[in-house]
Chains A and B, each alone.
Chain A
C-alpha cells in the first residue's frame, strides 16, 4: 500500500472551455495536516472533489487512501469525511436527525450513543431537536465538521471549514483538527486565513488551476526571496500609491496599521523608501509574512489567463 494518503498526478478538470484545474499533482503522507490555499476560483474545491470521487478528472490519475480515484470512488467515500464549502446538510431535519442519518449511511454501531457523544462535544445537546436551518452560519459549520468526522474517517477533506466562524470557535476548530490528526487522521484543509495556513505541516498554494508553490511555511517565505520593510506612524496612509509604482517595489500593502513594502532587489527598495521618508513614519526591515510571499507569488504568476466560460 502506498505511504501516501493522497497520491494524484497531473489532474486536469475542464468545464466547457475553461480549465479549472490544470495538471495538479499532490503527494500527501498519511497523518499529516496540509493546508490548501489559493485565490478564489483557483481550483481548490474542484481538486478536492476529484480526490474524493465527486468529479471525474478529464486527465490524470491517482489514488486516495490506496484506492483508484477513477474506479474505486465507493471505497474512498466510505473512508473519507468531506465537508463541503457550502453547508450541505438537511435544513429541514433536526440536528440530531442529520447526525443519525449520516451515522446510518456509514452503518455505525451504537448509533444512539455516538450521536449523543457528538452532540455533547459540540455543545448542542440542548438544541438537538432544532432544525438545522435554524442554526447560525458558524454553528452550521461546527455541525458539519462533527457530522463528517463522526464515522472516524481515515482522511478528512475540509473545504473552507472556518469561513464565517468567530475567532474563538476557529481556535477550537483547529484544536479539534490537531486532535484528530494526532489520533491518526490525515487532514487536507482549504482556507483563506494565513494564520490557519501557518498551523499546517505543509502548504499547497494553487493559482489559476496550477500549483504555484508548496512546502513548509518557512521554506515558502525563504524561497520567495523577498525583502520586506515595514513602516508605522501617522504619515503612512498617503505613501501606498506613491510607493507601489516605484521600480523594485513588487507590492506595497497595509497590514493592520502598518505598511509593508516588498521586493527582491534591496538597493532599489531602499532607494524607493528614501524618497518618501519623513519624520512621522518609522521604517524597519522585517521578515516577510506568508501573505507577503503569496501576494508576490500571485503578482509574478500573472493574472488569471484561463478562458472564462
Chain B
C-alpha cells in the first residue's frame, strides 16, 4: 500500500533525520550521557542536609564529661572531627582556607564551672559563607550536647539537669553572620558564567574553521599550532575580563556583597581560571567535528561543574566520590578563591592550594590541546 503524499514525505524526512543523528556519534552519546549523568548527580551526589562536615576541636579541658560531649558531636554525624588544634590562630586559618567548616572550642575549667552551675560556654566557630552548609549542623548543636549529657547529669549531678541547660553554646557564624545566601551565590556566579561562556566560545571558534573548510587554508599558511591557539584565545581573555568587571560591579552595587580581601589576589585567580577554561575549550574543539558537538561537550562538562563544584550544593556535604570528581573541576578551585578573597579576606598564601590546582589544570589542558591539534588534515 502506498502512503498518502504528505505522510510519505514526512517519512522520508524522518528517516533522513534518524540516519544523520545516528551517524553523529557525539550527539548520539550525549543524548544518553547527559540524562544519565543528571540522574546520577542529582540522585546521589547532591545533599541539601550536609553531614560529616570537617571540624577541628580545640579542647583545653580533658574530663570524662567533655569527652562525652565531643563523642556526642561525632555520633550526631553532622560533625566529623578531622583534627585537634591548640592554637586559636590556627583554627582561624583553618576556617579561612576552608579546610574545616567548624571549630569547636571547650575552654579550660569547663567541667569545674559546669559542676558549680556557672553555665560555662562551648564555642562553635562556623564557616557561614555558605549558609546552606552550616545551618543544619548549628541548629542541631544544642540538642546534640543535651542528649550527650543526659546520662552524665544523673545521680550526684542531678541538680544540673533542671529546666535550663547548665552550659551555653555560643555560635560565631564567621564571614557571613547574617546568613545571606547571595553572599555565597553571587561570587560563585562569576565562576559559573566564565566557565559556560568561555569554554563554549573557544570550543566553537576552532570547530567553525573545520566545519566551513577554512581550516585547510589556515593549515596551508605558515602559522604554527601554538600561534593559532594564542591568537584564537586572546580575544576571549578580553571578553572574560569584561564579564568579570560587570559581575563584580553588580556584586558590589546591586547585591552589596562585601569584598574583604585584596583585589589583586582575585585578579590572579580570575586570570588563571580564564586561561584554564579557554584551553579546555580549545581541547574540546580538537575533539568535536562540528560546532554542535563542541556545544554538547561544553554542556557535558558544565553540568558537573555546576553541581559538584560547591556552587549549588555544599561541597563538603557530598559523598566522597563526588568530592573527588569535584576536585578535578577548575570551578571548584575557583570558587574557593573567589569566596575566600571576597568573603573571608584570604590572602595569596592562604589560597596557594587552589591556585596551584588551577595552574596544573591549565597546563594539562594546554598540553592536551597542543598534542591533539592537527597540523595536517589527516
Residues on A facing B (Cβ under 8 Å): 49, 52-56, 73-74, 77-78, 80, 82, 84, 86-91, 102, 105-106
Contact = CB atoms under 8 A, between A and B. Distances in A.
Contact of B217 (A56, A89, A106): A89
B221 A77 contact: yes
B213 A105 contact: no
Given A54-B220, A78-B222, A105-B221, A73 B375 contact: yes
A86 B213 contact: yes
Interface in B189-217: 212-217
Contacts of B216: 54, 84, 86, 88
B312 interface: no
A105 B223 contact: yes
25 contacts: A49-B377, A54-B216, A55-B376, A55-B377, A55-B378, A73-B375, A73-B376, A74-B222, A74-B224, A77-B221, A78-B222, A80-B220, A84-B213, A84-B217, A86-B213, A87-B213, A88-B212, A88-B214, A88-B217, A89-B217, A90-B214, A91-B212, A105-B222, A106-B221, A106-B222
Contacts of A55: 376-378
Contacts of A49: 377
Given A88-B213, A90-B214, A54 B219 contact: yes
Interface string B338-378: 00000000000000000000000000000000000001111
A294 B378 CA distance: 31
Contacts of B224: 74
Contacts of A89: 214, 217
Interface of B: 212-217, 219-224, 375-378
Contacts of B375: 73
A159 B112 CA distance: 95
A161 to B, nearest CB: 14
A134 B38 CA distance: 44
A300 to B, nearest CB: 33
Given A77-B222, A88-B212, A105-B221, 19 more contacts: A54-B216, A54-B219, A54-B220, A55-B376, A55-B378, A73-B376, A74-B222, A77-B220, A77-B221, A78-B222, A80-B220, A84-B213, A86-B213, A86-B216, A87-B213, A88-B216, A89-B214, A90-B214, A102-B221
A73 B374 CA distance: 13
By CB atoms of chain A within 10 A, which of B215, B220, B224 has the most? B220
Contacts of A86: 213, 216
Nearest to B217: A88
Contact of A56 (B220, B222, B378): B378
By CB atoms of chain B within 10 A, which of A56, A73, A87, A88 has the most? A88
Contacts of B221: 77, 102, 105-106
B377 A54 contact: yes
Nearest to A157: B220
Given A54-B377, A55-B377, A82 B220 contact: yes
Nearest to B223: A105
Contacts of A87: 213
Question: Top 4 nearest A-B pairs by Cβ distance?
Answer: A88-B217, A78-B222, A82-B220, A77-B222
B214 to A, nearest CB: 5
Contacts of A74: 222, 224
A194 to B, nearest CB: 27
A91 B211 CA distance: 12
Contacts of B219: 54
A39 to B, nearest CB: 22
Contacts of A105: 221-223
A157 B216 CA distance: 13
